[in-house]
Amino acid sequence: MTTSSVSKGCFVFKPSAKKKKLPLTAADYFVESLKNSEDGRIRFESCQFLWQQMKSQTEQLQEELNKKLFDNLISFLKKSHSDFQNRKNDWNCRVRSSEIPTAALLLGVNVTDHDLTFSMLSDVLNEHVTPYVVLLQAKECPGIKQLLQKLLSQLMGCGSELDVDEEDDHTPISQRKMNCSMASLSGWYQEITKKAHSPKKKRSASLELCQAPPIVVVFKDLESFTSSVLQEFIVISSRYCRELPLVLVFGIATSPMIIHRLMSHSVSSLLCIELFQSLSCTEHLATVVDKLLLSNQFPFKLSGRVLQVLITIFLYHDFSVQNFIKGLQLSVVEHFNSQPLSVLCCDLQDIKRRVKSLSHNQCENVRHLPSFMSFVESQTPEVQVKLLTDDSYLKEMTRKFLQDLQMYHENYTPVLRCLHHFTCILPKYPLGKQIRELYCACLEKNIWDTEEYKSALNLLRMLAKDELVATLHKCLDVLNPYSGRQLDSALKKLKELLAYFQCIEGDNLENVDNDESSTQKGLQKKTDLYQLQKTLLEMKETRRTKKPSRFESLRLEVVDFLDGLVRDYLTPPEEQPLYEVVYFSSATILRKHLNAVPRIALHTALNNPSSYLKSLENDGTLSSAAPDICIAYKLHLECGRLINLYDWLEAFATVVNADEDSDSDSLKQVDEMTHARFIRAVSELELLGFVKPTKQKTDHVARLTWGGC
């Protein structure tokens, strides 16, 4: 900014306003983490859209699976206090029994899933039964006083749902001045229900149905509650059960017997207990795998190793379906973050548009895929040149490959279900009892090359007629929706086989009766031992040389038909070109994130802090810029079993003050700040379990880590 003027003057230049940097969003972090940021926004939006669809599907599944359990609980709660609900004008209508209605909810050992279940239960109860639902946890209720405080504080927030006049100064019990006792709760409940049903106020439809809604107290983790606290609360509550419509819900992870272990007989006799069983976590997982991974609704897929990692964590760690879903979410994010061509992992109607907009760099990424290179090697030289040099031809083939991959998945799932229907009825389940086991085996390699598959076919060749026909009907139900598609020929063949079985049903019965009658007549004749032996040998030889019956021939035809379907449609996904676009196969990354190894992580962080703190340089030497605990940790690795605290302190001060310009005498004098930092670092190491105090020498600590002099 300059001025040119003949006369002198004063010129004012206002500074340009600095633009404030907006905080980074999730999309910004996603794009910054990409090695190739081309189409980063589209990949993030695709990832977000895909996961929202999968998340809504899992929530819908959760609601459907818990519907029966919640319906039973609602009916139990409504029946528990029918005297309160059906009263008209007489408040003296009392509950005849002094027992407290109690629902023992057996949820299983997957404790991490219980929070979601109780959250959904609270919403359902608020909608259909009562606005008074209290959720209690053992860590928040160490004593009876804290339990009552938590109970009353949660109930006070429910008064607004009954349209109580907050400006009424004549309310005898207020939220601010309340004694934490059951008497206060009883007075508050009577006052709040009287105000809610006074003739001056308009009654809502829900309150007309439930004039005295029960108070539901949910103990989310019953096993963790102190026995004395539970017993005292139940004894006190039993004295008010004629004034308060209390209902208890016990969340149990282990066994219903825990109720009698935590309470004496005199206390448990005050409860009217009814047991409710939730769906097992393994059945829940089977439903999730069936609706999410075996569905063609979502383009994203997991490889066999990744799926095996998630299932192994589920079976050997926590039995948590929610953690399995979180692992699935991590797989989705990692796939879209690490695979540049994940932009093509979308619905079939969007593939044509996205393939058309591929840049030259993305075309090169396609050419570097292992599955694409395998396809190129099997083509003629002319086609190879076009695939490796012509981008337009490559885009056309890419669209064809993705469409073929979609068709591959549409055929893969029904054939897999048919194979599972046959193998799940076999003894010892050679290919697994659950369909997820069979799915993992088919993803990893050719299933027909395994010994388990050959054993399964041998067992199928001896299957009884009733089981065989019933299984064929199940397969018919699976293949019926695919009429008119690629599996239409298989569907027609299946119908023909079922028709043949119906035709031979009467003939087989007649043949069997004739054979049995002739055999019995031959054996009933009078004969000597030699003639009997001769007759039995002839019968044995006849059985050896006898032609197979029509049923046996049909059974062999069914097995061959099933084997042909498996070989045609259950090939591993690695044989499909461009399978990397939709399949996530980085099992190592997933295991690293989900299977935590605390010892290795701690050692890496303390010995090499630059792996986590990017501001530090990784030169492998002790630096004063490193955190104090890292300096103390590295110094303690140089010591033996016993560490002198004073020597350790001097070494720590030498490293910390290494950058300061001072003589050697001043280094010997450790200032108070350095001393305090050292004490804090040693305390943190003791908390982590690297050192501990020892009685051998008062000014020493014992080293607990490996190695040493």
The end-to-end CA distance of the chain, in Å, is 70
Q: Which pLDDT score is estimated for 165?
A: 40
Over residues 512-531, the pLDDT tens digits come to 444 545 555 555 555 667 77
- CB atoms near residue 80 (< 10 Å): 22
pLDDT digits over 160-217, tens only?
Answer: 343 334 434 444 444 444 467 888 888 888 888 777 655 544 444 444 445 678 899 9
Strand partners, 136: 219
Pair 312, 285: CB distance under 8 Å: no
Which of 658 and 95 is assigned the larger pLDDT?
Answer: 658
The answer to whether residue 394 scores a pLDDT higher than 80 is yes
Asked if 162 contacts 215 with a C-beta cutoff of 8 angstroms, the reply is no
Q: What is the mean pLDDT of residues 590-594?
A: 88
Instruction: Write down the pLDDT at residue 622.
Output: 76
Poorest-pLDDT segment among 130-134, 159-163, 317-321, 361-365: 159-163
b/e per residue, 444-476, with b = 16+ CB within 10 A? beebeebeebeebbebbeebeeeebbebbeebe
- Return the pLDDT at 613: 82
> Rounded to two decimals, what is the model's pTM?
0.80
Q: What are phi and psi of 235, to 5 degrees?
A: -65, -45
Residue range 328-344: average pLDDT? 93
Catalogue the E-assigned strands of 56-190: 100-106, 133-136
Non-local (6+) Cβ contacts of 332 within 8 A are 47, 50, 51, 54, 300, 584
Contact between 220 and 114 under an 8 Å Cβ cutoff? The reply is yes
Q: How far is CA 506 from the centre of its chain?
A: 51
pLDDT band with cut points at 50, 70 and 90 for residue 707: low
pLDDT exceeds cutoff 50 at 660: yes
Between residues 3 and 288, the one the model is more confident about: 288
Burial per residue of 523-533, b for 16 or more beta-carbon CB atoms within 10 angstroms, e otherwise = eeeeeeeeeee
Mean pLDDT value across residues 652-664: 74
CB 268 within 8 A of CB 250: no
| Contact predicate 704/692, CB 8 Å | yes
Inter-CA distances, 406 with 300, 307, 376, 399, 579, Å: 11, 20, 20, 11, 10
Higher-pLDDT residue of 502 and 174 is: 502
- Beta carbons within 10 angstroms of residue 91's beta carbon: 11
More confident residue, 97 or 226: 226
Phi-psi region of 315 (alpha: psi -120 to 50; beta: other; left: phi over 0): alpha
Reported in sequence order, the residue ranges of 342-419 that DSSP labels E, i.e. its strands, are none
Q: Are 691 and 701 in contact (CB under 8 A)?
A: yes
What is the average pLDDT value for the chain, to the nearest integer?
Answer: 83
Percent above pLDDT 90 for the chain = 54
Reported as a single tens digit per residue, the pLDDT across 396-424 is 999 999 999 999 999 999 999 999 999 99
Is residue 94's pLDDT more than 60?
Answer: no
**pLDDT for the residue 543:** 63
Closest CA to 443 of 485, 477, 408, 474: 408
- State the pLDDT at residue 7: 58
- Mean pLDDT over 96-120 rounds to 87
Give percent of the chain above pLDDT 70: 82
Closest CA to 321 of 160, 500, 107: 107
Low-confidence winner among 91-100, 217-226, 572-581, 699-708 (lowest mean pLDDT): 91-100
pLDDT tens digits, 40-71: 889 999 999 999 999 999 999 999 999 999 99
Please count the other Cβ atoms lying within 10 Å of the Cβ belonging to residue 271: 19
* Beta carbons of 589 and 334 less than 8 angstroms apart: yes
pLDDT for res 312: 93
pLDDT at 709: 43
Which residues neighbour 539 within 8 Å (Cβ) at sequence distance 6 or greater? Answer: 519, 522
Strands (E), 209-355: 215-219, 246-252, 271-277, 301-302
One-letter identity of residue 250: F
Residue with tokens 């007759």: 535
Per-residue confidence (pLDDT) for residue 530, from 0 to 100: 72
User: Token pair of 634, please?
Assistant: 């590295």
Q: Are 438 and 419 in contact (CB under 8 A)?
A: yes
The yes-or-no verdict on residue 498 having pLDDT over 70 is yes
Q: Which residue has the tokens 């795998």?
A: 289
- Give per-residue pLDDT as tens, 289-320: 999 999 889 999 999 999 999 999 999 988 99
The arithmetic mean of pLDDT across residues 608-634, rounded, is 82
Inter-residue long-range contacts of 444-453, CB under 8 Å, 24+ positions, other chains counted: 444/304, 444/305, 444/572, 445/572, 446/571, 446/572, 447/566, 447/570, 448/563, 448/566, 448/567, 453/566
